[in-house]
Amino acid sequence: MKHPLALALAVALFATGTSLAHNAQAQTKADQAVTANAQSNANPFFQESPLPLQFPQFDKIKDADFAPAFDRGMADQLKEIDAIANSADAPSFDNTILALERSGRILARSTSTFFNLMSTDTNPVRQKLMQEYAPKMSAHRDAINLNPKLFARIKTLYGQRDSLGLDAEGVRLVERYYTDFVRGGANLSDAQKTRLKAINAELAELGAKFSENVLEEVKDSAIVVDSKAELDGLSDERIAAAAEAAKARKLEGKYLLTLLNTTGQPPETDLTNRALREKLHKASVARNSRGNAFDNTALVSKVVTLRTERAKMQGYPNYAAYVLEDETAKNPEAVNNMLGQLAPAAVANAKREAADLQAMIDKEQAAKGEKSFQLEPWDWAFYAEKVRKEKFAFDEAQLKPYFEMKNVLENGVFYAAGQLYGLKFKQRTDLPLYRPDTSVYDVFDADGKQLAIFIADMYARDSKRGGAWMNSYVDQSELFGTLPVVANHLNIPAPPAGKPTLMTWDEVTTMFHEFGHALHGMFSNVKYPYFSGTSVPRDFVEFPSQVNEMWADWPSVLANYAKHYQTGEPMPKELLDKVLAASKFNQGFTTTEYLGAAMLDQNLHQIGDAAQVPKAKDVMPFETASLKKDGIYYTPVPPRYRTPYFSHIMGGYAAGYYAYIWSEVLDANTVQWIKQHGGLTRENGDRFRATLLSRGGSKDALQLFRDFAGHEPKIEPLLERRGLTAPAAGEPKNK
């Protein structure tokens, strides 16, 4: 949930909390900062941005502005909180709950911008600020959540919630505040609160350090290649990009293969040099566990230990139980049951796929008169592409000329949104950018009124974290009269200067996926900022974005954007047919690598005794033992993220990485419903928007699904989509 007291910390990949002593220091510095800035409005965060829809003033924001804004923002909010908590008036919805919603505006503006920029364009100054302010901001949140007078007022209103004359959204807001304060420790004893603050302080520092280590290790683990010949198989564009990356690090005449944060690395698909593939893979899986300055194993051990202690203190059997209580899953048993249903079928399919890959290896080696070798993880992507070509007679290289990036965005992603929801988009060049390779669009509703502003940030860079995501700079709410400013971020390799940006099919579907998140934010139509946009449970938030992927290969949408970047010719129907026929190809691998990470996350956070948490030296053996216990251990298919670089579980997805597949169950049901009711129509779009996308967190998440689909979620559509079948007789079942 986008609780205003969370200070946008969910955006940052670290845990929260610290002590009141830190907070007192923050107040002292805040007083100094206010004095220093009292005669000046130079700090752009001290007032609302005058730009359209309060678009951030990126041209005026300097790194030096953040600390004064944080300090003043915390000081101002504490004064606001003190006035609420110590009011002589009896608690009311207006003087307590709405007052809390209105508090902390400077802090909200500055933290939102800061943490968004930390993810997409970090630098040493920002990293240092994050290290310094993570515990201070967490202390600030503790000072509010553990304020007994404030909680007493909220508790009173919670008991009266059905007699306050509120509508359903107002009642839910009271309930959510009460729940958040209880989960934040408001009912603990004074001694427990003191310990909780200390735990939170350490978690904040450890989480920030973990994220920094992941980023630095990605840079440090890049593979230097001496000659172009070793890069055989890569496209000319990718080789040129590797040369430029090496040049940027003063490695003239060499080539640099930089790493993404996933276990699998894109060049493994194309590199013919098996030794180099192996080197790339081993560098990837060894990250943050090499015993160097960026080793995260001790951090993982300490974080899990502290989370386990915190959960037990608050009355939960383990940290997963604490987290899942507030999700749609509700408890670890439900998650274990769902993952357990999928794991045996996924591994069985992966083994069948592996047999096909091994047959390809054997055939090729025999043709060369050479001894065959056993399939290894670094061979999977390379030979999967060969099998794909043989089975479906196409490869990714054939597709890419039809997927020029801007064309995919404007004539694919935007076009589908226009057909489904009536939206129109217009690029604008008058607003300041935080990076020159980003772009900005006005978004207009079907009635011609402005709905939002959308930022497209698509290119990979060293200062950007891995993966793809959506974030919000300004949230919609009736309370503040604000409309959304949202951004999508991908990590598409930038082409050499003057060359087009051609995308893989996976990057295309990712672009559609992330825009589904953007639509969730842009369509928000709620009263209170707490419920705005994607402020829904973690195991629900991926659902609308996954639904939006369905339009990537919808015939009328694809025909509108899949055109050759040089000739404008449409993608041949036979090539499209092959793409669609291959949609279930390699799903055993995809599902197994995902489930490996999801089940590892649960194993770490379902530990019920802090003494049982693995020590640093045991973190990697624990990972292997966990995967074997759950029947998901299969050597050729390692987890999508291994523990020391599993950034999701250091942040908002701790005990929640299962959310992607949980959401996909809802997604598969919804796609089935849409197809059964006419597909890409305004009627279907308007229904999805009205019943679900516009409601944010203002209603129970599963009820939103039921409102749209008219039934409870079923797992069968997901199994069918992924081509998963029951394991063959005699194959081990998941424990």
CA distance 96 to 85: 8
What pLDDT sits at residue 397? Answer: 83
Examine the domain organization and report whether 232 and 305 are in the same domain.
Answer: no
**C-alpha radius of gyration, the chain, whole number:** 26
The answer to whether residue 140 is domain-embedded is yes
Examine the domain organization and report whether 12 and 156 are in the same domain.
Answer: yes
Contact (CB, 8 A) for 203 and 307:
yes
CATH number, domain of 602, equals 1.10.1370.10
Q: Find the domain containing 231 and state its range.
A: 221-286
User: For this structure, is 514 an active site residue?
Assistant: yes
The CA distances from residue 248 to 234, 253, 258, 459, in Å, are 20, 11, 12, 16
CATH number, domain of 76, equals 1.10.1370.40
The CA distances from residue 563 to 251, 571, 580, 655, in Å, are 37, 6, 17, 42
CA distance 679 to 683: 9
Task: Say how many CA atoms lie within 13 Å of 375 toward its Cβ.
Answer: 25
Roughly how many angstroms between the first and final C-alpha of the chain, as a whole number?
33
CB atoms within 10 A of CB 100: 23
CA distance 132 to 669: 45
CA distance 14 to 214: 12
Examine the domain organization and report whether 229 and 324 are in the same domain.
Answer: no
Contact (CB, 8 A) for 601 and 657:
yes
Q: Which of 617, 626, 609, 625 is nearest to 644 (CA)?
A: 617
Examine the domain organization and report whether 410 and 366 are in the same domain.
Answer: no
The answer to whether residue 202 is domain-embedded is no
Strand partners, 408: none
The answer to whether residue 701 is domain-embedded is yes
CA distance 729 to 724: 15
Contact (CB, 8 A) for 130 and 208:
yes
What pLDDT sits at residue 392? Answer: 87
Examine the domain organization and report whether 365 and 409 are in the same domain.
Answer: no
CB atoms within 10 A of CB 577: 12
Examine the domain organization and report whether 333 and 352 are in the same domain.
Answer: yes
Examine the domain organization and report whether 405 and 514 are in the same domain.
Answer: yes
Tokens of residue 235, six digits? 């496209």
The answer to whether residue 292 is domain-embedded is no
What pLDDT sits at residue 17? Answer: 27
CA-CA-CA-CA torsion sign (700, 706, 711, 712):
negative
Global confidence as pTM = 0.84
User: Looking at 212, 217, 507, 514, which residue is catalytic?
Assistant: 514
Site of tokens 């001790």: 298
Domain boundary among 239, 255, 286: 286
Contact (CB, 8 A) for 686 and 674:
no
User: Any idea what the Cα angle at residue 142 is, between residues 138 and 143, rounded to 5°?
Assistant: 115
Examine the domain organization and report whether 19 and 64 are in the same domain.
Answer: yes
453: DSSP letter: E
> To 10 degrees, what angle do helices 619-629 and 587-605 make?
120
CA distance 645 to 261: 7
CA distance 244 to 410: 29
Contact (CB, 8 A) for 168 and 531:
no
CA distance 118 to 13: 10
Examine the domain organization and report whether 606 and 686 are in the same domain.
Answer: yes
Residues of the chain under the 70 pLDDT cut = 1-41, 725-735
